[in-house]
Amino acid sequence: MNRSLRPLLATVVIFLIAYAAAVFQFPGLLSTRVLGNFLTDNAFLGIAAVGMTFVIISGGIDLSVGAVIGFTGVLVAVLITWLGWHPLAAFAAAFVVAAAFGAAMGLVIHYLEVPPFIVTLAGMFLARGGASVITQDSVPIDHPFYSAISSLYWRLPGGGRLSFVGLLMVAVFVVGAIVAHRTKFGSYVYALGGNATSASLMGVPVARTTVQIYTLSSVLACLAGIVFSLYTSAGYPLAAVGVELDAIGAVVIGGTLLTGGYGFVFGTFVGVMLLGLVQTYIIFDGTLSSWWTKIVIGFLLFLFIVLQRLVFAASARGDRVAEKA
């Protein structure tokens, strides 16, 4: 029906073909164990990518995501291990800090009319630097609550484990999809990405929405940071370097237009799974090395950017013809 569905469809088809091919080569890939690990291993990336999806649909970009993940890990670790806070209190503190951080970036982007990439770049420096100022080293987290959550899982038929963090990511995707497609806020996000001038003429509260979008992205990055610290049981200032690029990759591969206005939260899920599949395949293969992940992501990114360019340029040309005819 919609042209915006075409890239998403392409992603799903590519994922299914790739998965089928991978399974054909390594039948072991088709098991709930692998699928469970898929979710667990990519949980933090997936959660961050949901926030990135909103940012990109609105026509922006958030380069601070990886740094916020690292900062959150350090903050939480320091609060728990050094200051003896309960993890839940530490989480709450981290969310407040991240929300303020994202809101500040949104305010600067809207009121100073600065390109988001440079504002969030400053945000990335700030968060990464801030984390390093707190500590240079990895701070271990050893708290019963932590080990309880990180070992929490549901056994799936076939021996797979659906971990708490994996489930959390799925929940974030579901809620994210509902917010994007079923709330006024969601429609404002798409409106901003479609045409900011039209949006403001149609009554979209542009300033408020922009601030909310970047706040959401930072809060989700913070949640991703918490998940990452659950995964590693530590906080490290240089954790998750470059995750923003993986997140952008997942979002674009998932069919979201990098220039904004079109996209699906579900698409991002497929994008994350596709990236996860590439990694898992490389591990299964054993002879391929990890750098192939980056090359494949880069190639897919290129493929989708050009695909989108063609799909949208073609229909844009169609529109122009219609205008002149």
Partner 1 sequence: MQDTVNREQDAADRATGYRMEARQVSKIFGTHKALDGVDFGLLPGEVHALLGENGAGKSTLIKILTGAYQPDGGAIFVDGEEVHLTSPLQAQTYGIGTVYQEVNLLPNRSVAENLFLGHQPTRFGLVDRRRMDREARVLLKRYGLDIDPSSELGAHSVAVQQIVAIARAVQLSGKVLILDEPTASLDRDEVQRLFEVIASLKRDGLAIVFITHFLDQVFALADRVTILRNGRLVDTRRLTELSRTDLVRKMLGKDIAFSGSTSLEAERPPTELLLDFKGYGRKRSVRPFSLAIHKGEVIGVAGLLGSGRTEMARMMFGIDPADEGSVTLSGKPITVKSATEAIGHGFGFCPEDRKADGILGDLSVRENIVIALQGKLGWFRALNRDEQLDLAGQFGEAMDIRAASLDMPVKLLSGGNQQKVILARWLATDPAFLILDEPTRGIDVGAHAEIVRTINRLRDDGMALVVISSEIDEVVAYSSRVVVMRDREMVAELKGEDINPAVIVQAIATHGENSEFEAEVTA
Partner 2 sequence: MMRIPLARLVNTQTIALVGVLLLNWILFPGFFKIEWQDGRLFGSLIDVLNRGAPVAILAIGMTAVIATKGVDLSVGAVMAMAGAVAATLVVGGYPGWVAVAGALTVGLLCGLWNGALVALLDIQPIIATLVLMVAGRGIAQLITEGSIVTFSDPTLVFIGTGSFLGLPMPVVIALALMILVTLAVRKTAIGLFIEAVGVNRSAATLAGIRSRLLLIAVYAVSGLCAAIAGIIVAGDIRGADANNAGLWLELDAILAAVIGGTSLLGGRFSIVMSVVGALIIQAMNTGILVSGYPPEFNLVVKAGMITLILMIQSPFAGRLLTWFGRNRRKGA
Q: Which residues bind partner 1 (CB under 8 A)?
A: 1-4, 178, 182-184, 186-188, 190-191, 193-195, 197-199, 201-204, 261-262, 315, 319, 321-325
Comparing C-alpha atoms, which of 280, 202, 312 is closest to residue 28? 280
105 within 8 A of 123, measured Cβ to Cβ: yes
151 binds, among partner 1, partner 2, none (CB under 5 to 8 A by kind): none
Residues with Cβ within 8 Å of 73's Cβ and at least 6 positions away in sequence, in order, are 131, 225, 226, 228, 229, 232, 234, 235, 236, 239, 240
Looking at 16, 17, 96, 129, which residue binds partner 2 (CB under 8 A)?
A: 129
Looking at 87, 106, 123, 267, which residue binds partner 2 (CB under 8 A)?
A: 123
Minimum distance from residue 205 beta carbon to partner 2 (Å): 19
211 within 8 A of 219, measured Cβ to Cβ: no
In whole angstroms, give the CA distance from residue 141 to residue 278: 31
130 binds, among partner 1, partner 2, none (CB under 5 to 8 A by kind): partner 2
61 binds, among partner 2, partner 1, none (CB under 5 to 8 A by kind): partner 2
With H, G, I as helix, E, B as strand and everything else as coil, classify residue 155: strand
Please say which residue, 24 or 125, places its beta carbon nearer to partner 2.
125
Please say which residue, 83 or 322, places its beta carbon nearer to partner 1.
322
Q: What is the DSSP string of 256-267?
A: --TTSS---HHH
| Residues 133-152 interacting with partner 2 (rule: CB under 8 A) | 133, 136
> What mask of x and - would describe binding to partner 2 in positions 217 to 246, judged by CB under 8 A?
--------------------x-------x-
Tokens of 98: 């991240």
